[in-house]
Structure 1
Amino acid sequence: MPRRLQRKRKKHRLTIRLSLLLIIILTLSGLYLEHARSQHIAAEKEKIAESSLPKTSADSTILQTIEPKNAVSASIEQALVARNFSGTVLVFRHGQIILNKAYGWKDQAKRIHNTIDTQYCIGSVQKGQTAYLIMQAVKSGKLSLDQKLSTFFPQVPNSKNISIKDMLNMSSGLRIDEKKISALNTTDSNEILAETLRQTTAAQNAGYSYQPVNYVLLAGILEKLYQTDYNSLFDKELKEPMKLNETSFYSETNKEQALSYSQGAAGPEYAPTTASSYADELGTGNVFMSARDLYTYFQALFNEDFLTNQERSELWQSYPGEKYASGIYNMTNSYHTRGVKARFESVVDFSKDGQSGIILLSNVWNQPKGYNDLASQLYKKVAAKS
C-alpha cells in the first residue's frame, strides 16, 4: 500500500478518535453541569425552606448541655453555684452559645433533676409575646397601634383616649384589683376577661405604671380580632412558626414543667399553685418554656421573617422618660425583661443587636430580690469587650 494512502488512513483514524474523545468530554461536561445545576437548585430550595425559621433553630449546639467554654462562662457558673441556683442558664456571646446548663431539682420529692429541656413558668416575660402577637395583627392589617381601646371595649372608663400603644407601654392609666379576679377561682378565660372588664378603672394621670390589666385586655382584643381563644392563637401564630417544641401553657399533667419551691431554712419547700392562679394570668404570665426555646424566641425577633428592624423598633419604643415597652425594658445599651410567678423567676438581658445575652430560668425563689441584680452583673461580663 502506498505510504501516502497509509498516512491518509492514519489521519482519518486519528480524526475519528479525537471526535469520539470530544463527544465523551462533552457528554461528561453536560452531566457535570446538570449535576451542579441540580445541586444548586436543591441548595436554593433548602435555603428558602430554612428562611422561615429562626436563625438559630438549626444550631445543634443548643440541643445538648454546654459546659463553661471560657473564663466568662466559668465565672458565671461559679456565681450561680455560690447562690445555690436551681434552674437553667443559657449564655450567648457574639452569636455563640458559651453555656447551656441546668442545676437543682425539677421534682425534689422524686429526685428528678432539672435538665436543659425543663420548662419553667416565664411569668411576665410572656407580656412580650402578647405584644408580638399584637404586632402580627398590625402587620396583617387587623389593627393599628394608635387605635383606641374603645373600638373593642367601650365599657372601659376613658377607653376612647387610650391607644393600643399606651397599653403596650403600661401608660394607659388602667387599674384593677387583681384579688377580685383571683377570687373567681376559675380557669375559664371568658369569665376572667368578663370580670376584668367589670373591675377595670382608669386613673386620671396616665403615666407609666406597671399594671398587668393592660395585657389581659390586649389578650381579649386578640381574641376578638382572630375569633379564637388566646392559647390557640399563641400556638398558631408564635409557637408553631418559631418551632418552639418546649413551650406550653400550665398543666398539672405536663411532666416537662418543673415544680417550684421557696427557699426555707431547711432547704427548698414545695407548695402547689392552683390552675386558676395561672389562668388569671391571661396573656401576662402562664406560659412555660425551656431556656433553649426562650433563646430561640428572642433570636426570632431579630429575624426579618418575623419582625423587620422597623417593626421591632416601633414595638419596643418606650415613651419619653420611660423605659418599658411591649414586655421589654429599653435600657441604655441593652434590653431587659423579667417575670416572677408562683416562685418561678425568669430574667433575660441581651444586647441591642441580639447577639449577646444571658437567660436565667429558676424554680426556687430564694432571694428578697430574686436573681434580677445578679443577672445584671453577669450580663456585664458577657457584654464586656475583652
Structure 2
Amino acid sequence: MKKSVLLVVALLVSSFSFSQDERLTKIDEFLSYLFENDKFMGSLVIRKGDSLIFKEAYGFYEANRGLRANGNTKYKIGSVTKTFTATMIMQLVEAKRLRLETRISRFFPKIAMASYISINDLLQQRSGIMDYVNADETFKEKLITGESQEDLLERIADYDAIFEPGTKHMYSNTNYYLLGCIIENITKKSYAENLKELIVDKIGLKNTYYTTEKTDVSKRESYSYLYNGSTWEQFPEWDNSVAFASGGIISTPDDLSLFISSLFSGKLVSPASLDQMKKIKDGYGMGLMQFPFGERRFFGHNGKIENFNAVVGYYPKEKLSIALISNADVYNQNDIMLGILSMYYKMPFPFPEFTKLDPDEIKPLLGVYNSDDLPLQIVIKEKNGELIAQATGQPPFPLTYFKDTTFVFQSAGVEITFGLDSFVLKQAGMKYKYTKN
C-alpha cells in the first residue's frame, strides 16, 4: 500500500508573522530549509505561558495529492501518548479509585509475577514485563493486521519475567498498554472516552483523540512518509489498536503544547501528583522524561510510530512549552530540536550542508551487499545524485554524505562507511561488516 508521489518543493505561506522576533524567523527558515532539501515534513509550536508565539507547518499530510499541512493537521504522536495515560492514572489515584501500590494481579492474574508488580512499577517502567512490540519478529505483522485486546493480553501472559519488579528500569510498551486496560476496567468506559472526559474536554484541546479507524485525510489526518531519493513514499499504516494507550493518540503540536503546560500549571493533576510524575529514576518518571539543553531541564516525552516522530517538552522556569511532530524526517529529530532551541536561545547553530556527489564517485559504491553478521541483504542504488539503501523486506532510505566515505541515515541512527567492495554498518552501538556480491 505504498504510494510513490511527485515531490512539489514549495514554501508554505506562514500563518504567523515572525518579523518582530529574529529568533523565530530563523527557526522558520531552518525548518523551511530542511523541507526544501527533502529532509523533513511536519509542524512546530512554541508556547510561552498562555501565549502561542510560533505555529507553523511544513510539507504535506497527503503528498500524493499535494495536500499541504497547516497548524490543524493531525499526526500520530506515538509514545507521547504515555504522558496522557500516566495523567489519567494519577487522576484515578487522586479520586481514590486506584492506589499506586495496587498489584496488577487484581486485573491480570495470569501475568508472571503479577502479585509483585504495582501500578507504580508500570508507570515508572520497572515491571520486568517484556515489551510486546519488540518481543519477537512474528509480532511485526500484527502491527499491520492488528490483534484483539484479549489475544494480546494472552500473549503478554505467556512472557517470562525479565527481572524482579522494581529492581531495574526497562522501557516497555507493555506497561502502558496494561495501564490503558486498567483505566477501562475501573471506569467501565473506553480509553477514548476517558481521554475525552478527563483531559481533552477539561482543558479545551481541539484536535486530540484516540481512534482505531484508518487515517482519514478528509479530517486532515496525516500519513507518514519516507523519501526514496526522488519522491515521498507513503509508509505502511499500522493498526492503531495495537499501539493503544502506549502510543495510539492522534494530536497536533498546538494541542500537545497546551496539554503539557496545563499539566504543569495544575489544571489536570495536583502539585503533589505532578511531583511524583516528575521524579526521574534511571531516566524515567511517570510518563515523563527529562531533556537537558545546557543548564535547562525540559520535562516531556518523545514518540515514534510508523514514520511519525513527536516530542513535547516543558521548561517550568520560563513556562515554555515546545512541541514538534514530523510525518517524514531524514534529518535526525534530536538535531532538529537542538537547532530550534539553539536559535530560540540565540546560540550559534549553522545550517547543515547536504552534499550531492558526482556520479563517478557514487558508481563504485553501488551494488548488492551481504553480511555474515546480519541476515539482511542490502542493496545500494543511486537516485538524483544521492545514495539509496534498501534492506530485505524494508522500505528504501536515503544515505546523506557525512565525510570521506561515510554516509548516514540520521533518523534511524545508521552510519555506513564504505571500503573496497565492502562497508561497515553501525547502529545502536553495534557494527556489521558487509561485502559486495
Q: Distance in 1 between matches of 2:344 and 2:286?
A: 24
Q: Which residue of 117, 139, 153 maps to 1:162?
A: 117
Residue 288 of structure 1 is matched in structure 2 by 250
* SS of corresponding position for 1:210: coil
Q: Which residue of 264, 284, 291 maps to 1:302?
A: 264
Q: Which residue of 52, 73, 88 maps to 1:118?
A: 73
Cα distance change of structure 1 residues 207 and 354 upon mapping to structure 2, 3 Å threshold:
farther
Q: Which residue of 17, 28, 34 maps to 1:67?
A: 17
- Residues 1:262 and 2:233 are matched in the alignment: no
Q: Distance in 1 between matches of 2:345 and 2:288?
A: 18
Residue 202 of structure 2 is matched in structure 1 by 241
Cα distance change of structure 1 residues 307 and 116 upon mapping to structure 2, 3 Å threshold:
same
Residue 82 of structure 1 is matched in structure 2 by 33
Give 1:147 shift: 1.9
Give 1:235 shift: 1.9
Percent same amino acid at aligned positions? 22
Greater relative contact order structure (CA < 8 Å, 6+ sep): 1
Q: Distance in 2 between matches of 1:152 and 1:330?
A: 31
User: How many residues align structurally?
Assistant: 316
Residue 216 of structure 2 is matched in structure 1 by 253
Give 1:176 shift: 3.8
Amino acid at match of 1:65: S
Q: Which residue of 191, 215, 219 maps to 1:230?
A: 191
- Residues 1:136 and 2:95 are matched in the alignment: no
2:75·2:251 contact (CA, 8 Å) conserved in 1? yes
Q: Distance in 1 between matches of 2:231 and 2:270?
A: 46
| Greater Rg over alpha carbons, structure | 1
Q: Distance in 2 between matches of 1:363 and 1:286?
A: 15
Q: Deviations over 1:293-322 (max 9, x none)?
A: 112211221232322222111122122xx1
Question: In proportion to residue count, which structure has more strand?
Answer: 2
* SS of corresponding position for 1:175: coil
Cα distance change of structure 1 residues 295 and 94 upon mapping to structure 2, 3 Å threshold:
closer
Residue 127 of structure 1 is matched in structure 2 by 82
Residue 209 of structure 1 is matched in structure 2 by 170
Residue 9 of structure 1 is matched in structure 2 by none
Amino acid at match of 1:224: N
2:307·2:327 contact (CA, 8 Å) conserved in 1? yes
Q: Distance in 1 between matches of 2:209 and 2:321?
A: 23
Matches within 5 A, 1:345-384: 345-353=309-317, 355-367=319-331, 370-382=332-344
Give 1:291 shift: 1.6
* SS of corresponding position for 2:245: coil
2:257·2:322 contact (CA, 8 Å) conserved in 1? no
* SS of corresponding position for 1:116: coil
Q: Distance in 2 between matches of 1:303 and 1:94?
A: 9
Question: In proportion to residue count, which structure has more helix?
Answer: 1
Q: Name whichever of 207-216 and 252-261 sits farther off.
A: 252-261
* SS of corresponding position for 2:227: strand
Amino acid at match of 2:337: A
TM-score for the superposition, normalised by structure 1: 0.75
Q: Distance in 2 between matches of 1:301 and 1:349?
A: 12
Q: Distance in 1 between matches of 2:195 and 2:106?
A: 22
Cα distance change of structure 1 residues 325 and 337 upon mapping to structure 2, 3 Å threshold:
same
Q: Name whichever of 181-190 and 130-139 sits farther off.
A: 181-190
Give 1:208 shift: 1.3
Give 1:261 shift: 0.5
Q: Deviations over 1:91-131 (max 9, x none)?
A: 23465332111111111121110010100101100011000
* SS of corresponding position for 1:325: coil
Residue 199 of structure 1 is matched in structure 2 by 158
1:88·1:102 contact (CA, 8 Å) conserved in 2? yes
Give 1:334 shift: 1.7
Q: Distance in 2 between matches of 1:114 and 1:91?
A: 17
Cα distance change of structure 1 residues 313 and 196 upon mapping to structure 2, 3 Å threshold:
farther
Amino acid at match of 2:27: I
Cα distance change of structure 1 residues 298 and 177 upon mapping to structure 2, 3 Å threshold:
closer
Runs of 4+ in structure 1 off by over 4 angstroms are: 179-189
TM-score for the superposition, normalised by structure 2: 0.67
Q: Deviations over 1:322-381 (max 9, x none)?
A: 1212332124522142111111111223203471132111111323xx312321342244
Residue 106 of structure 2 is matched in structure 1 by 151
Q: Deviations over 1:31-58 (max 9, x none)?
A: xxxxxxxxxxxxxxxxxxxxxxxxxxxx
- Residues 1:330 and 2:285 are matched in the alignment: no
Give 1:141 shift: 0.3
* SS of corresponding position for 1:78: helix
Give 1:384 shift: 6.5
1:167·1:215 contact (CA, 8 Å) conserved in 2? yes
* SS of corresponding position for 1:109: helix
- Which ranges of structure 2 fall in alignment gaps of 5 or more residues? 1-13, 348-437
Q: Distance in 2 between matches of 1:227 and 1:177?
A: 25
- Residues 1:92 and 2:47 are matched in the alignment: yes
Cα RMSD (Å): 2.4
